[in-house]
Chain A
Amino acid sequence: MTRTRSYLGLLPFLMATALGCGGSQPATNEPSGGSADVAEAQPAQPGTGLEEDESTSDLAMHHRHHHHGGFAMFIAMGVDQINATPEQKGAIEKIKTDLWAKMEPAHEAEKQVLLAVADGVAANQFDQGKIDAAIQNVSTASAGIHDAIADSLNSLHDTLTPPQRQALVDKMAAHFEVWHSANTPEEDKDHGHLTRLAKELSLTPDQVDKARAAYEQSIGSVQKFDRAEADAHIKAFSDAFAADHFDAKTLPTKGELNAHMAVWGINRMVKLYEAVAPVLTPDQRTKLADTIREHANYHANGG
């Protein structure tokens, strides 16, 4: 009986162990939580969470219309959400201002594409020569960003703590994931750009079907974006930026990647609007053209 009692004394421990093995418990509000009590999470796939709420949907719309900065834009956007200390904010603000300034030529070139597309939608007639020339300007300007921001990236690395650097590369990769998903034609079948337009313009199912058919045909002629090129850059940049010593000038990736991203993203957008415009009513065309002009005049840096 004595031995029995000693085993029974282990019951609370055994029960606790059994419950612990049972997996996740809701996060408690007790400040006594132990950091060792962790579990692996399932990867968030498929999808990027774009359909979750209005704010993430707006992020997708941003990435459907603004491609000019490539990875530099993802970094400039991400640096706002790294939870900087008050002591860091002055230096980070200066770096951020410099990043946006270096991207401005590409931003201006992209603006001209969007305005040309807006005019084309309004008139239901696209000036292809003007649009192509404007896209070429975006490509050229975007290709120059990589070298132009090298010093800013080096300063940013020196300003951030190692965990903040990790947060920034996570955000850069996450923005790329969102951008890639938002600019994948297959996405339009479910909750993509065309679905968003259908809601905003109150398109009929017949209009959506006709636009989708035209879009699927035209997008097939566009050279596809090479995701492997981007994945290689993410890995190279992430490894380098997370290290104690970093020099952006030694990164293996060159400016062409930003140009490839910008050209693919803009071509996809142009093809979609060219496919949609012919099926719209005059009022819908006016409304869509106005929306595209808003995107053209929008500046992510608050300007």
Chain B
Amino acid sequence: MKTIMSLAILAAVSFGTVREASAQVVVEVAPPAAYIASSTPEYYEGRPVYYYNNYWYYRDHGRWSYYRREPAFLYQRRSHWAVRPGYRHGDWGGRYHYRGHR
């Protein structure tokens, strides 16, 4: 009986957690076109990936996905950017900026 009670409690805890977690699902939004047009990708697993709003995004068969946990390689690439002055993931080099003309 004790065994059955324990299993019931465990099941309740586990399923309760699943339901609660599902209710907290955050749907991340893919990078907008202006961002894709003007930012520099990294390449990982044979495809371009973009760092946007703290996640790495990639497109596969027309759909955007993101890595929920940052792959080690991409973490290292971000660290690499940090030591390159004037470079940022969304940088388009200022070449097309009108700032200098205004």
Interface residues of A (CB under 8 A from B): 1, 3-4, 7-8, 11, 14-15, 17-19, 21-35, 37-44, 47-50, 52, 54-56, 58-62, 77-78, 80-83, 161-164, 166-167, 170-171, 173-175, 177-178, 181, 291, 294-295, 298, 300-302
Q: How far is the CA of A161 from the CA of B47 in the complex (A)?
A: 10
The tally of CB-CB contacts under 8 A between chains A and B is 219
Cα distance, A80 to B31, chains bound together (Å): 19
Q: Which residue of chain A has the shortest Cβ distance to B71 in the bound complex?
A: A33
Residue of A14, A25, A81 near B40 (CB, 8 A) is A81
- Report the minimum CB–CB distance from A194 to chain B (whole Å): 17
CA distance A21 to B18 in the complex (A): 7
Check if A41 sits within 8 Å of B27, measured CB to CB: yes
B84 part of interface (Cβ distance < 8 Å): no
Closest to B93 in A: A80
In the complex, are the beta carbons of A58 and B33 less than 8 A apart?
no
Q: Mark each residue of chain B from 38 to 65: 1 if its CB lies under 8 Å from any CB of chain A, else 0.
A: 1111111111100000111101000111
User: When the two chains form their complex, are residues B21 and A29 in contact, meaning their CB atoms are under 8 A apart?
Assistant: no
Q: Are B10 and A166 in contact (CB under 8 A)?
A: no
| Chain A, residue nearest B57 (CB) | A41
A42 and B28 contact, CB distance less than 8 A: yes
B residues with CB within 8 A of A? 2-3, 6-7, 10, 13-14, 17-18, 20-22, 24-48, 54-57, 59, 63-72, 74-76, 90, 92-93, 95-99, 101-102
CB of A163 within 8 A of CB of B46, answer yes
Asked if B68 and A39 sit within 8 Å, CB to CB, the answer is: yes
Inter-chain contacts of B54 with A (CB < 8 A): 26-27
The 8 A-B pairs of least Cβ separation, nearest first, read: A49-B32, A22-B21, A31-B72, A23-B25, A33-B69, A177-B33, A167-B48, A174-B36
Q: Known contacts A55-B90, A177-B33; is A166 also within 8 Å of B47 by CB?
A: yes
> CB-CB < 8 A to B25: which residues of A?
22-24
Shortest A239–chain B CB gap in Å is 12
Additional A-B contact list (12), CB under 8 Å, known A27-B68, A39-B65: A1-B3, A24-B26, A27-B54, A37-B67, A42-B28, A44-B32, A52-B32, A77-B96, A83-B43, A173-B33, A177-B37, A302-B95
Q: List 6 A-B contacts (CB under 8 A).
A: A22-B21, A27-B67, A56-B35, A83-B43, A166-B47, A177-B37
In contact, B71 and A35 (Cβ under 8 angstroms): yes
Choice from B10, B28, B48, B74 contacting A7 with Cβ under 8 Å: B10
**B84 to chain A: closest CB distance in Å?**
12
**Within the complex, which residue of A34, A38, A59, A83 is in contact with B41, where a contact is CB–CB below 8 Å?**
A83
Tell me how far the C-beta of A85 lies from the nearest C-beta in chain B, rounded to whole angstroms: 10
A15 touches B33 (CB 8 A): no
Q: Are A19 and B34 interface neighbours, CB within 8 A? A: no
Q: Determine if B43 and A163 form an interchain contact, defined as CB atoms under 8 angstroms apart.
A: yes
Structural contact, A24 and B71, CB atoms closer than 8 A: no
- Measured CB to CB, the closest approach of chain A to B32, in angstroms, equals 3
Tell whether A167 pairs with B96 under 8 Å between CB atoms, given A1-B2, A41-B57. no
Verify A44–B98 contact, CB threshold 8 A: no
Contacting pair A7 B7 (CB below 8 A): yes
